[in-house]
Amino acid sequence: MIDSRNGSYLLATFEGGGAVAPFITVARKLIAEGKSVRIMSDVANRYEVEAVGAEFVPWVTAPSRAARGREHEFVRDWETESAFEGFCLMLDLQLVGRAADYAADVMAELTRKPADLVVANDMLLGVHMGCEAAGQPFVILACNVMPYPIVPGIPPMGPGLTPAQTAEDHALHAEIRAGTMAVFDSRLNTYNAARAAFGLRPLEHLVDQVFAAEKFLLATAHAFDFTPPDLPDFIGYVGPQLDDNIWSKPWSNPFAQDDRRPLVLVSFSTTFQNHAGILQRVIDALSELPVRAVVTLGGAIRLDELKPAANTAIVESAPHHELMQEAVLVVTHGGHGTLMKALVHECLMLVIPHGRDQVDNAVRVAHRGAGLSLAPDADVETLTAAILGLLDEPAFAENASALGRRIREESGTCRIELLLEMLVLEKYSAVPASKHLPHSIRPANSGMIPDC
């Protein structure tokens, strides 16, 4: 075990789909190393934080959902006309609009109890601002692929682009990247006014806020992402953080023990995205096929909103890792955590993205032939054809297995808890951190942290 200054870490995130579970996993890993860990998040996350032995700290002035469920969502992106409008709504209501509140909360918490290092969710720009104002070392942790247009070679998030190959591709990517920057910068005056209130200089671009961090860490895999060959030292992949949600109920197989029909797991978002209709159409498509299906609702959709089929079990939650050990196909909205778990278990995927980062996740699956992607208005006939195509074409299974093995191998060498300890040592020790680390986990090259 590495001995850091105090071994005190403050993790800051929010209740927002896949924004919580990776932070819980990181907390568990740090606690196993004997570190003191707090997690600041919405009140809705108290149970899962305390269940892993971390101290829970709620947001006070920043938004804090009291519980999960559509009635507690304040960014109602399912009511917008497009995923782009939903993102703009999140910018206005959370990322920029409430940035000063997040900054004030994290600064108050650091005054109450200092930390060696803050690990901040990539979306919480206000936390980044608060750490900068307090002179607090922090790293950014993204629970998905890169959301900001700051890395040349990574396609800009939003429209689901594949890597640029031609001059036309590069021109298109540059145009979209510039458009994305313009959207961010349209909120720059509001954000800079908040920075001024904390005694900070104005930014030239909104995304410049992230460069106040020590590192920008991506909790995904090189093998999954579209990664350029030359990655800045500031960016690092730490592998997907994939514990099952602590509130997942124990799994009891509802099917007969001798039922050998292929198992299909249907798992959409744990936040409401108005997806009951597509869930029902997936159930209807599967009802005519020789498969067993388990549908997990994740607290987002009510049981009375769906009509089950004879070959389908609908449950509130279930441990995905356990189900995916048997499942051959996962039908999902394309949330990063669900996709990573499915790939680690070498499952085929039918991805039906609804917005957020899901289109960009879906294109990474389809581009590598590990699955297919459909629009959320796909009808039963289209869904049935896609599912049959995935199950009948061996190349899909071969590609999913190959990609899954690469992600497992990569993840097996990524030790985020040791990287965070290394960063603490670099900040507070006169001896270079690498001198304290076993050779097998010393950083070998940019973007691969450590040895992954």
- The domain locations on the chain are 8-243+413-441, 263-409
Residue 339: pLDDT above 80?
Answer: yes
In terms of C-beta density within 10 A (0-12 exposed, 13-18 middle, 19 or more buried), how is residue 418 classed? buried
80 pLDDT tier (thresholds 50, 70, 90)? low
Question: Residue 440: what pLDDT?
Answer: 31
Residue 449: pLDDT above 60?
Answer: no
Task: Answer yes or no: are the C-beta atoms of 306 and 279 closer than 8 Å.
Answer: yes
Q: 8-243+413-441: which CATH topology? A: Rossmann fold (3.40.50)
**278 Cβ contact partners less than 8 Å away, ≥ 6 residues apart:** 268, 352, 376, 377, 378
Mean of pLDDT values over 424-441: 56
Task: Answer yes or no: are the C-beta atoms of 416 and 26 closer than 8 Å.
Answer: yes
pLDDT tens for residues 413-423? Answer: 889 999 999 99
Residue 90: pLDDT above 70?
Answer: yes
Instruction: Kindly report which listed range (84-88, 257-261, 319-323, 403-407) carries the lowest average pLDDT score.
Output: 84-88
Question: Residue 249: what pLDDT?
Answer: 64
Closest CA to 400 of 313, 321, 340, 319: 340
pLDDT tens for residues 241-252? Answer: 987 665 556 777
Q: 263-409: which CATH topology? A: Rossmann fold (3.40.50)
Question: Residue 247: what pLDDT?
Answer: 56
In terms of C-beta density within 10 A (0-12 exposed, 13-18 middle, 19 or more buried), how is residue 72 classed? middle
Closest CA to 44 of 81, 9, 69, 24: 69
Instruction: Kindly report which listed range (30-39, 205-214, 265-274) carries the lowest average pLDDT score.
Output: 265-274
Tokens of 30: 């740090």
pLDDT tens for residues 134-185? Answer: 999 999 999 999 999 998 889 998 889 999 999 999 999 999 999 999 999 9
Residue 431: pLDDT above 60?
Answer: no
Tokens of 429: 């020790």
Tell me, yes or no, if the two domains 8-243+413-441 and 263-409 fold the same way.
yes
Mean of pLDDT values over 278-296: 93
Task: Answer yes or no: are the C-beta atoms of 213 and 120 closer than 8 Å.
Answer: yes
435 pLDDT tier (thresholds 50, 70, 90)? very low
Residue 57: pLDDT above 90?
Answer: yes
